[in-house]
Amino acid sequence: MEFKLEAHRIVSISLGKIYNSRVQRGGIKLHKNLLVSLVLRSARQVYLSDPCLGGPGVGGPPQPPPAQEQLPGEPAPGWGEPHARDSSMEQDPEPAGAAPEPPALPLALGKRSLEGSPLLRAEAVPEAPRRRVEAAERGGGGGEGALEGPPRARQCCCRRLCCSPHGAPRADCGCRPRPDDGAPPPPVCPRKRSASGAGGGPAGCLASGGSPVKKPRRDSEEQPGDEEEMETGNVANLITIFGSSFSGLLRKSPGGGREDEDGEEEEEEPQRGPEAAEPGPMYCDKPVLRNLNPWSTAIVAF
Amino acid sequence: MAGAGGGNDIQWCFSQVKGAVDDDVAEADIISTVEFNHSGELLATGDKGGRVVIFQQEQENKTQTHSRGEYNVYSTFQSHEPEFDYLKSLEIEEKINKIRWLPQKNAAQFLLSTNDKTIKLWKISERDKRPEGYNLKEEDGRYRDPTTVTTLRVPVFRPMDLMVEASPRRIFANAHTYHINSISINSDYETYLSADDLRINLWHLEITDRSFNIVDIKPANMEELTEVITAAEFHPNSCNTFVYSSSKGTIRLCDMRASALCDRHSKLFEEPEDPSNRSFFSEIISSISDVKFSHSGRYMMTRDYLSVKIWDLNMENRPVETYQVHEYLRSKLCSLYENDCIFDKFECCWNGSDSVVMTGSYNNFFRMFDRNTKRDITLEASRENNKPRTVLKPRKVCASGKRKKDEISVDSLDFNKKILHTAWHPKENIIAVATTNNLYIFQDKVN
């Protein structure tokens, strides 16, 4: 149990670091953020796989907290089993090529096993909650100040907060992942972009090609609504961070099958300002940090 | 500890300390790099404020046989200024990440200094004469009215107070999207490499408007990013060979003759991880923060968070020597993660004969490992021992259990006092050790 507490603590510390890195002088440090994301992923895996939570970990054999290697005989450790239930929450359509559920992809955290699984890495890196991009469009001087509430509550394809965090879709929802429908918004923090399109610095992300692009928010039309939701839907949003951070990625197709492909590119967690085209992760900062209690509840719900 | 001169143990003595005394450290004064030039006569430091300070060793005084010349300020200049990339809304820090000296070819000295984005070639030259006696100019530079000139004279050089001028001769900009972490001058003395998190570029010292990209590890999909480049260095003798280290603890040796883009390494140095040491932070502490070839070129040394490893270039599967710098921190990794200390990038250096290696630690401690005797020593850079020729007392950290007298317990270490940058004179037993904002110079005791 103490492993879980430790993991919880490490996750929240890591989130704080990622958040703070956005406002550092000199821009986001790719190296440090990469390392933090690795820790975050490890901690999260431990947290989710520890069966004493009664959470998703029941699906897999208990792992020692630091265990990051793929368990022998466990086809889908970490991400696999624990997320079996998550898949029902995965309302976001995914590219045809990807497994219907991200959990099916084993996430091997061992040092050497990553080379062969770039797609898994795609999951791994953005484990950190998605990061918001500061946007001048928020009212000038995006900078550090423009904080939003928690990420938008997870929405299923029918754009309703219909599915409970506990995994079982409501009967009346009828939602299911649609293969390549880019329409349903990714249930993550709306990403903001600096109005100038400048991607760099604390939180900027640019469209590929480096041209300043006022990237539409994923759910641009819901943006005003987002804020309201974020104020209230913390718990669900927090789940969203961890449960669906990969769904968005998997949805993404290189050809731009999503409504704002540029936005997806920003999901690369550590990379920020330096490379205009780099994806950057979305994460929730203040809301996450502010709501650690509901957070654990949310995680339990996983 | 064997010194350059023989098998006797060296006794290190305090020699000098440079920098402000007060504890309140201005951020701009934080030293970010230290480097001796090829002769050891000059010692350059760079700081977070973008300044470079060069110290010069006094000529050895025949009467002062018991110590070598002192280092005094020779030149100070502002190398880099803060910049703002408007397109990306990104501030570019002026902090000097690395300084590398070019070998001296004429009266002037040249060095490369770099911040996160731009490398500059600086010429440092002395001026100790100036022409006097111009016909058309007054001494203060004002022009004389030609009609008042009745006789002509030949201007002559007259001695003046030594003036050291630094001028930027080349600016190598706009070639790095990510933060530059290393520069290294090739043994051909014509080219050099610069490395950022994902790419390494090859430059010619004369050409600033283009560079060749020789390593690119940026994945097509940034979400697949798993490692970054942390350091790179040219081989000291083979102008076609360089190495780069990664955040995963691997070192790749590349041969530029093999292909234009050296994405495929010639050798991969990696030590299998010890599964019993696995923790949340295993990946972080295996990230290599510095890589340095030995002077001979036969070995290279890497520094990760807890250890220093010496690799034989002929053996890729494990290092030939491993030295624990501060193993007692292994149980504290979580706290060190919280306070960000786990991300500290320690450097390491060889002595001139490649027999001893040195690296820094916390509490203003630094460590030396003698490769021959396998003995190690921990010393402290502190103003308390600041009488010249005071022999430094070895320090010891008590990891657990009963603390002996004079030992320091792990919990009382000051993690804000870290020694990240150290340098060893290429020929003598003189070392420069940078604490946060002070530069200490120690010498071996000369009897």
Contact B225 A271 (CB under 8 A): yes
DSSP A6-58: HHHHHHHHHHHHHHHHTT-TT---HHHHHHHHHHHHHHHHHHHH-GGG-SGGG
Using pLDDT thresholds of 50, 70 and 90, give the confidence band for residue A157.
very low
- Most distant CA atoms of chain A, gap in Å: 53
Task: Give me B183's structure tokens.
Answer: 């520069």
Contact A10 B280 (CB under 8 A): yes
Q: Is the dihedral of CA B149, B151, B154, B159 positive or negative?
A: negative
- Residue A40, Cβ neighbours under 10 Å: how many? 30
Q: What confidence tens digit (pLDDT) does each residue in A258-270 have?
A: 333 333 333 344 4
Complex ipTM value = 0.89
Among A70, A60, A64, A65, smallest CA distance to A108 is for: A70
Percent of chain A with pLDDT over 70: 16
Q: Which amino acid is at B4?
A: A
Using pLDDT thresholds of 50, 70 and 90, give the confidence band for residue A239.
very low
**Closest chain B residue to the Cα of A248, Cα to Cα:** B223
Domains of chain B and any CATH numbers: 16-122+170-393+419-444 (2.130.10.10)
How close, in Å, is residue B48 to chain A by CA atoms? 12
Q: How many Cβ contacts (< 8 angstroms) between chains A and B?
A: 146
How close, in Å, is residue B334 to chain A by CA atoms? 8
Which pLDDT belongs to residue B276? 86
**Count of positions (residues) in chain B:** 447
Residue A31, pLDDT > 70, answer yes
Using pLDDT thresholds of 50, 70 and 90, give the confidence band for residue A149.
very low
How close, in Å, is residue B218 to chain A by CA atoms? 10
Taking the C-alpha atoms of residue B265 and residue B318, their distance in angstroms, rounded to an integer, is 17
Residues from chain A that touch B334, judged by Cβ atoms under 8 A, are 6, 10
Contact B93 A26 (CB under 8 A): yes
Across A46-60, A137-151, A276-290, B38-52, the highest mean pLDDT is recorded for B38-52
Which pLDDT belongs to residue A231? 33
Which pLDDT belongs to residue B270? 96
Q: DSSP class of residue A228?
A: H
Q: Compute the mean pLDDT over every residue in chain A, rounded to the nearest whole number.
A: 48
Q: Is the dihedral of CA A52, A58, A63, A66 positive or negative?
A: negative
3-class SS string, B344-403:
CCCCEEECCCCCEEEEECECCEEEEEECCCCCEEEEECCHHHCCCCCECCCCEEECCCCC
- Asked if A117 and A77 touch (Cβ cutoff 8 Å), the reply is no
Residue A167, pLDDT > 50, answer no
**Closest chain A residue to the Cα of B289, Cα to Cα:** A31
Residues from chain B that touch A210, judged by Cβ atoms under 8 A, are 87
Residues from chain B that touch A276, judged by Cβ atoms under 8 A, are 87-88
Task: Give me A219's structure tokens.
Answer: 């759910």
- Asked if A288 and A295 touch (Cβ cutoff 8 Å), the reply is yes
Percent of chain A with pLDDT over 90: 6
Q: DSSP class of residue B84?
A: E
**Closest chain A residue to the Cα of B83, Cα to Cα:** A26
Contact A26 B91 (CB under 8 A): yes
Q: What are phi and psi of A247, to 5 degrees?
A: -60, -40
Q: Would you write out chain B's pLDDT as a tens digit for each of its 447 residues?
A: 433 333 357 899 999 999 988 778 899 999 999 999 999 999 999 999 999 999 999 987 666 665 678 999 999 999 999 999 888 888 899 999 999 999 999 999 999 999 999 999 999 999 999 988 889 888 888 888 888 888 999 999 999 999 999 999 999 999 999 999 999 999 999 999 999 999 999 999 999 999 999 999 999 998 889 999 999 999 999 999 999 999 999 999 999 999 888 888 999 999 998 888 888 899 999 999 999 999 999 999 999 999 999 999 999 999 999 999 999 999 999 999 999 999 999 999 999 999 999 999 999 999 999 999 999 999 999 988 678 888 999 999 988 777 788 889 999 999 999 999 999 999 999 999 999 999 999 999 876
Which pLDDT belongs to residue A223? 37
- Residue B142, Cβ neighbours under 10 Å: how many? 8
Write down the pTM of the prediction. Answer: 0.69
Contacts for A54 with CB less than 8 Å, ≥ 6 apart? A300
Task: Give me A10's structure tokens.
Answer: 């490490």
Which of A10, A199, A254 is closest, CB to CB, to B88? A199
Which pLDDT belongs to residue B155? 92
Q: DSSP class of residue A235?
A: H
Taking the C-alpha atoms of residue B286 and residue A57, their distance in angstroms, rounded to an integer, is 28
- Asked if B351 and B358 touch (Cβ cutoff 8 Å), the reply is yes
Q: What are phi and psi of B199, to 5 degrees?
A: -140, 155
How close, in Å, is residue A228 to chain B by CA atoms? 28
Q: What confidence tens digit (pLDDT) does each residue in A32-55 have?
A: 999 999 999 888 888 888 676 544
